[in-house]
């Protein structure tokens, strides 16, 4: 188990885009008075569920949380973890494993990413929490009502890979479906330190339940094309020329702005909601009105300020986004990582 207890505040967050190949290390400074979950005993590279767990200190303050595994293989609430696996599971690879794995072997492969924080370089924050925001059970209770200065949040490896690449990852993209072809050319498993081409393959990560996913960029491309085609057909039916119909396509496609994964942190006091803060775990260009040039899938810890909530005794976590099925159900995995809770003294 870990024998040291140190937390870190990110000074410079590197939100690297997919086209970037250079890995840069962020500057980290120790903040020993943050709530870090490091005093909770854990084996190395493991995760576990604790009902009614408490973490903190007299100086940092105290918080509590709960979590449990569900029969489906999913979970509710929070899990305590220190895993940092950052690639697709080898055992599910089309090249090196068996994509049709079932039972405990399949679950173990998914868990290797589900309970890992995705960081561009090896994680240094030791213990942290993995939350599931899909069932209203991702709740942090604060023992003494206080103003929370910030929390550190990150993507899980499961969420990052599904958002950036999709369930299947190869070097061959089907432009009609926007899914990578499972029989396509071989690629490097993301962040695999062994760069030999003999380790290249086609990789797979299924959902715990539900259909395979395409990457967020693929969903955006399909939705923009759909909007454009609808406008084009309407123009043609109205007697417009082919050139005018194409102009209608281009305009509608450009105006269909989407592509985001949102973590929503709600503050409560005495059972009443007092406010919320939204943080983008992924965003595409033009979506964020305050930062229209931002385009990233978060690949490191980021400090999210919560002072605007005022004094609270509870934080509740939810997620939202654009990637939905035809019934409007959110398809984006609703998992996130949490660490470094700083309570104002």
pLDDT tens digit string along 102-159? 999 999 999 999 999 999 999 988 999 999 999 899 999 999 999 999 999 999 999 9
pLDDT at 33: 78
pLDDT at 93: 99
- Share of the chain residues as helix, strand and coil, in percent rounded to the nearest 5: 20, 35, 50
pLDDT at 3: 36
Find out whether 21 and 299 touch, Cβ atoms under 8 Å: no
Report how far residue 168's alpha carbon sits from residue 93's, in angstroms, rounded to the nearest whole number: 9
As separate numbers, helices (DSSP H) first and strands (DSSP E) second, the chain gives: 4, 19
pTM metric for this prediction: 0.91
Find out whether 321 and 155 touch, Cβ atoms under 8 Å: no
pLDDT at 301: 97
pLDDT at 31: 55
Closest by CA to 39, choosing from 58, 61, 51, 56, is 56
Sign of CA dihedral 89, 91, 94, 95: positive
Structure tokens at 149: 């200065």
- Stretches in the chain below the pLDDT threshold 70: 1-32
The verdict on domain 8-12+25-85+113-156+261-343 having CATH code 2.60.120.1350 is yes
pLDDT at 7: 38
CB neighbour burial string for 45-75, b if at least 16 within 10 angstroms, e if fewer: eebeebeebebbeeebbebbbbbeeeeeebb
Report how far residue 94's alpha carbon sits from residue 97's, in angstroms, rounded to the nearest whole number: 6
Residues contacting 161, CB < 8 A, separation 6+: 88, 113, 118, 169, 190, 205
pLDDT tens-digit map of 156-190 = 999 999 999 999 999 999 999 999 999 999 999 99
């Amino acid at each position: 188990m870990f024998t040291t207890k140190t937390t870190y505040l990110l000074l410079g967050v590197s939100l690297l885009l997919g086209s970037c190949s250079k890995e840069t290390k962020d500057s980290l400074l120790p903040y020993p008075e943050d709530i870090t979950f490091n005093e909770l005993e854990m084996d190395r590279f493991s995760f576990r569920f604790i009902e009614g767990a408490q973490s903190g200190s007299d100086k940092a303050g105290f918080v509590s949380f709960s979590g449990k595994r569900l029969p489906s293989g999913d979970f509710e609430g929070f899990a305590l973890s220190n895993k940092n696996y950052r690639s697709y599971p080898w055992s599910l690879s089309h090249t090196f494993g068996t994509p049709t794995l079932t039972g405990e072997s399949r679950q173990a492969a998914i868990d290797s990413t589900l309970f890992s924080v995705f960081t561009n370089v090896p994680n240094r924050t030791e213990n942290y929490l993995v939350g599931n925001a899909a069932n209203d059970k991702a709740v942090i209770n604060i023992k003494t009502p206080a103003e929370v200065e910030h929390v550190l949040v990150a993507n899980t490896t499961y969420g990052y890979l599904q958002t950036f690449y999709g369930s299947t990852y190869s070097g061959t993209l089907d432009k009609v479906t926007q899914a990578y072809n499972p029989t396509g050319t071989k690629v490097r498993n993301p962040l695999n330190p062994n760069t030999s081409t003999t380790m290249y393959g086609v990789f797979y990560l299924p959902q715990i339940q539900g259909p395979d996913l395409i990457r967020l960029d693929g969903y955006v491309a399909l939705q923009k094309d759909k909007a454009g085609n609808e406008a084009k057909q309407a123009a043609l039916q109205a007697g417009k020329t082919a050139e005018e119909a194409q102009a209608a396509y281009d305009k509608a496609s450009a105006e269909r702005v989407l592509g985001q994964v949102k973590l929503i942190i709600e503050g409560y006091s005495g059972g009443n909601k007092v406010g919320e803060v939204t943080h983008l775990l992924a965003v595409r260009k033009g979506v964020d009105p305050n930062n229209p040039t931002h385009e990233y899938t978060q690949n490191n810890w980021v400090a999210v300020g919560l002072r605007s909530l005022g004094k609270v005794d509870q934080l509740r976590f939810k997620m939202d986004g654009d990637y939905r099925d035809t019934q409007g159900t959110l398809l984006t995995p609703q998992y996130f990582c949490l660490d470094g809770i700083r309570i104002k003294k």
